[in-house]
Amino acid sequence: MASALETLCGQAYGAKQYTLLGVYLQRSLVVLFLSSLVLLPLFVFAEPILEFLGQPEAVAKLTGKVAIWLIPMHLSFPFQFTMLRFLQCQLKTVVIAWVSAGTLALHVVLCWIFLYKLGFGILGTALILDISWWISVLGLLAYIVFGGCPHSWTGFSMQAFVGLWDFLKLAVASGVMLLLENIYFRVLVIVSGHMNNTEVAVNALSICITIIGWESMIPLGFLAATGVRVANELGAGNGNRAKFAMKVALLNTLALGILFWSIVTVFPDKLSMIFTSSIPVIKMVGGFAFLLATTILCNCVQPVLSGVAVGSGWQALVAYVNLGSYYLVGVPLGIFFGWSLNFGLTGLWYGMIMGTVVQTLILASMTIRCQWTI
């Protein structure tokens, strides 16, 4: 939902209406914090929800405990993500990098103390995440409030409570757009819990999802950069520069996607050995190599197109595109291949990749047909 700020703050910064950035930040904090309270029941009742979805009792019980401990981290998200977007739109990414580096260093120390010295286990991991996220929030907040953004932060304003409904609509559209993307491939992990040899399948898929998550950090960086750059240039009335920024980002991520595709295809076993020594799990990850590599390649192109959508304010339209591509094309095809044709998890994954391809083609068509200059 904080992606709404990339559109509003990005265009306001490009138009040199700096005071609006602070108003948008506060308005976003109000909307997102209330939204985080609405989502709290998902954490409180995580255990029965997972049991209802058919997950093993032991998995559901432990996950439920961890979810309760992660509530403080959840409540930090409205502050963290709004301030990140606020600073990104002003091209203050160095500040974000320094705060993140400091938080990471402290996070490593806390992990060593709580996990290795005190032996707190998985609940200790949740506690460490709570502490680390709030330290990051306090670092960003201190920079913004104590003089880091003199033009865009002029203090608290009652204007933050004006136009909340319009902001909520854009924020919800942004949230739905990204939610439909982020949970899409998590469906694989849920489905794997209903398969034979469940433990091996879940472990193998968890490794694949982790690899996708690590790799996606780079394309997500391009998503943020593209969204901000496009919004800045559109706010300044420079449509051709926005188009050029999109092309540069797309070429870079495509090259990276081909590189990662090659690595995963050639060294699938070596990658899985980073996470496990179990031979059955390593073999299953190797069997998923082509699917994993293709997913990574698609995920390198799609974020740039989503960044263009965010910078241009197309979130609501893209949310419908994601809904249709992923859940009306990808999931039904996956179910057809997986169960009707008895291809199992591999067939489900193939179908979901097709959904991603359809979504990418539609977004590419929208971007190509966009009237960048008026």
Residue position matching structure tokens 């996708």: 212
Neighbour-count burial of 286, counting CB atoms closer than 10 A to its CB (0-12 exposed, 13-18 middle, 19+ buried): middle
Q: How far apart are CA 224 and CA 303, in angstroms?
A: 9
> What's the whole-number average pLDDT of the chain?
82
98: pLDDT strictly greater than 90? yes
Q: Do 128 and 107 touch, CB atoms closer than 8 A?
A: yes
pLDDT tens across 324-356, in order?
A: 888 888 888 888 887 778 787 788 788 888 888
Tell me which residue of 78, 73, 61 sits closest to 171, measured CA to CA.
78
Check residue 189 and give its pLDDT: 64
374: pLDDT strictly greater than 60? no
pLDDT tens across 42-70, in order?
A: 988 888 888 887 777 787 888 888 889 98
C-alpha torsion angle, residues 355, 361, 363, 369 (rounded to 10): -160
* Terminal C-alpha separation, the chain: 29
Q: How confident is the model at residue 197 (pLDDT cuts 50, 70, 90)?
A: low
pLDDT tens across 266-323, in order?
A: 887 777 788 777 788 888 888 888 888 888 888 888 888 888 887 777 778 888 888 8
Q: How confident is the model at residue 247 (pLDDT cuts 50, 70, 90)?
A: confident
C-alpha torsion angle, residues 126, 132, 133, 138 (rounded to 10): 150
Q: How far apart are CA 337 and CA 313, in angstroms?
A: 36
Q: How far apart are CA 91 and CA 74, in angstroms?
A: 26
DSSP characters for 278-333?
A: -HHHHHHHHHTHHHHHHHHHHHHHHHHHHHHHHHHT-HHHHHHHHIIIIIIIIHHH
Residues 6+ apart with CB under 8 A from 84: 2, 96, 140
233: pLDDT strictly greater than 90? no
Q: Do 358 and 326 touch, CB atoms closer than 8 A?
A: no
Classify residue 153 as left (phi > 0), alpha (psi -120 to 50) or beta: beta
Q: How many CB atoms lie within 10 A of CB 115?
A: 15
Tell me which residue of 140, 160, 158, 157 sits closest to 149, measured CA to CA.
140
Tell me which residue of 352, 356, 350, 345 sits closest to 300, measured CA to CA.
356
Q: How many CB atoms lie within 10 A of CB 320?
A: 14
What's the pTM?
0.75
Directed axis angle between helix 198-235 and helix 289-312, to 10°?
Answer: 30
Residue position matching structure tokens 């971007």: 367
219: pLDDT strictly greater than 90? no
- Show the CA angle centred on residue 173, arms to residues 170 and 179, nearest 5°: 140
Check residue 284 and give its pLDDT: 80
Here the tokens at position 283 are: 């073999």
Of 6-10, 85-89, 195-199, 240-244, the range with the lowest mean pLDDT is 195-199
Residue position matching structure tokens 């929030």: 137
Check residue 199 and give its pLDDT: 67
pLDDT tens across 108-136, in order?
A: 998 888 888 787 878 888 888 899 999 99
Residue position matching structure tokens 């309270």: 37
Q: How far apart are CA 24 and CA 227, in angstroms?
A: 17
Q: How confident is the model at residue 102 (pLDDT cuts 50, 70, 90)?
A: very high
Q: How confident is the model at residue 373 (pLDDT cuts 50, 70, 90)?
A: low
Check residue 192 and give its pLDDT: 59
Residue position matching structure tokens 């050995």: 273
Q: Do 142 and 284 touch, CB atoms closer than 8 A?
A: no
pLDDT tens across 7-23, in order?
A: 787 778 778 888 888 88
